[in-house]
């Protein structure tokens, strides 16, 4: 009988399968803990740590260095607090591993299986200004649910049409803007999850309501830039069909409706449950046996392939716990007496500076939450600031993950993207400042 399981338990593939199963079990524990509150959160977090350790060898060397630094700094803070006798529950906070955000990432990842069914990779690609503009808005809606997977799907199709030659700068601009602007408002983005956690008491409806207009301004300005770009006349685009775009629209509506009906349930839990239930139901009802195989394949290979994202969020949890423990031990508060409009703008500038220096938004948002959280009286203002810092940071910094992906995968020039973002950076910073001012005036 053991021979039946021997293929499943052999080699590194077996470790990845085991990690995928553990991630799925940890996800179930995260959801149960969030809904029932009968289990301590560190139990679910422990499962995520075990899965991360199993897949850690697959993390790229450069990412290992960044993740290692975050963990070492966090552990140093925790050890300092422990020696002073003030560690308290900070170790358990590190073990909890940002589990609501990580759980949401795992649940949302299943939606890729549904989205891929609506993408036709054999269609000939048209070119022209209107095609690129439709690609911009379509990829944005697609990416609002699938995150960077949408960029890779569209980017790979464009690269294939160009016979794997470097993409044109205007095509790179479409992918970059479509993706980065999702962080302003999308409930399915890690940015929203971390903002809701770092700004306790913030409301999803408010963040979406004020984030959507900012994203729309960014997209409309990008569409205008595309129209003025001489390359746009001959550049190919990938306008996604309705068969791909109905899903993100439906899911966004479901999340908002669920939040209105069950306001006591954490938003991140609702997003995770809706994404997971929808993906599994759709696959099993429409594809039956083949859908079940797709789900199994995703658990065994798709989930372990999220090792870098998983490790980054776990490392950020250690860093946040270490910083909080150190500040508590030293009785230091770096937060201003009041967090209002001026403080929000200064925080936005600091987040942008950190992004341009190469700091991942997960790290900068977690640090901002740890340092400024005690002075925040309006969590919605703080949450909006974090989302804006994330969206602008990844869109403008040549060192952000999305830009590094575009550079390495599609041969795009960092200098060309930086040059193309000059006017956009000024406009969107002013738009964000104006939005924050309008929010505070109305509130």
Is the confidence at residue 160, as pLDDT, over 50? yes
Q: Any idea where the domains of the chain sit in the sequence?
A: 12-117+266-332
- pLDDT-based confidence at 217, cuts 50/70/90? very high
- 52 neighbors 307 (Cβ within 8 angstroms): yes
- 390 neighbors 183 (Cβ within 8 angstroms): yes
- Specify the pTM: 0.83
Q: Which of 9, 21, 14 is nearest to 303 (CA)?
A: 21
CB atoms within 10 A of CB 83: 10
422-431 pLDDT per residue, tens = 999 999 999 9
127 beta partners: 236
Q: Across residues 106-135, what is the average pLDDT?
A: 80
- pLDDT-based confidence at 119, cuts 50/70/90? low
Query: Please, how many CA atoms are within 13 Å of residue 307, restricted to the half-sphere of its CB?
Result: 23
- pLDDT-based confidence at 159, cuts 50/70/90? confident
219-237 pLDDT per residue, tens = 999 999 999 999 999 999 9
127: three-class secondary structure by DSSP: strand
Q: Where are the alpha helices (DSSP H) in 185-306?
A: 190-198, 204-228, 242-261, 267-286, 289-297
177: three-class secondary structure by DSSP: helix
């Amino acid at each position: 009988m053991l021979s039946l399981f021997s293929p499943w338990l052999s080699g590194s593939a077996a470790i990845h399968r085991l990690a995928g199963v553990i991630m799925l079990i940890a996800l179930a524990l995260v959801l149960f803990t969030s809904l029932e509150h009968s289990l301590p959160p560190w139990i679910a977090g422990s499962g995520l740590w075990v899965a991360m350790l199993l897949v850690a060898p697959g993390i790229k060397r450069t990412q290992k260095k960044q993740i290692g630094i975050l963990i070492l700094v966090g552990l140093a803070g925790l050890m300092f607090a422990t020696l002073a006798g003030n560690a308290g529950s900070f170790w358990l906070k590190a073990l909890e591993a940002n589990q609501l955000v990580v759980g949401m990432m795992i649940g949302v990842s299943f939606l890729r299986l549904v989205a891929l069914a609506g993408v036709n990779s054999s269609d000939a690609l048209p070119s022209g200004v209107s095609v690129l503009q439709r690609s911009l808005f379509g990829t944005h809606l697609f990416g609002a649910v699938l995150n960077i997977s949408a960029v890779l799907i569209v980017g790979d199709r464009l690269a294939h049409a160009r016979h794997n030659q470097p993409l044109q700068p205007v095509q790179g601009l479409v992918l970059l803007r479509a993706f980065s602007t999702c962080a302003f408002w999308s409930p399915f983005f890690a940015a929203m999850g971390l903002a809701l956690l770092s700004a306790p008491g913030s409301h999803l409806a408010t963040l979406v309501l004020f984030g959507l207009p900012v994203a729309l301004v960014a997209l409309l300005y990008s569409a205008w830039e595309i129209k003025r770009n001489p390359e746009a006349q001959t550049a190919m685009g990938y306008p996604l069909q309705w068969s791909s775009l109905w899903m993100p629209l439906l899911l966004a509506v479901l999340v908002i409706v669920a939040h209105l009906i069950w306001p006591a349930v954490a938003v991140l839990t609702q997003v995770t449950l809706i994404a997971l239930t929808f993906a599994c139901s759709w696959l099993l009802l429409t594809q039956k046996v083949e859908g079940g195989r797709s789900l199994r394949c995703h658990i065994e290979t798709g989930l372990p392939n999220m090792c870098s994202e998983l490790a980054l969020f776990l490392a950020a949890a250690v860093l946040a716990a270490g910083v909080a423990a150190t500040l508590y031990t030293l009785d230091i508060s770096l937060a201003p007496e009041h967090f209002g409009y001026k403080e929000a703008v200064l925080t936005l500038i600091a987040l942008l500076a950190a992004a341009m220096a190469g700091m991942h938004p997960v790290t900068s948002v977690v640090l901002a939450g740890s340092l400024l959280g005690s002075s925040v009286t309006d969590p919605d203002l703080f949450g909006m600031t974090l989302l804006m810092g994330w969206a602008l940071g990844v869109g403008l910094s040549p060192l952000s993950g999305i830009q590094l992906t575009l550079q390495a995968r599609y041969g795009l020039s960092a200098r060309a993207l930086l040059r193309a973002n000059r006017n956009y950076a000024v406009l969107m910073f002013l738009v964000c400042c104006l939005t924050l001012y309008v929010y505070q005036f109305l509130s």
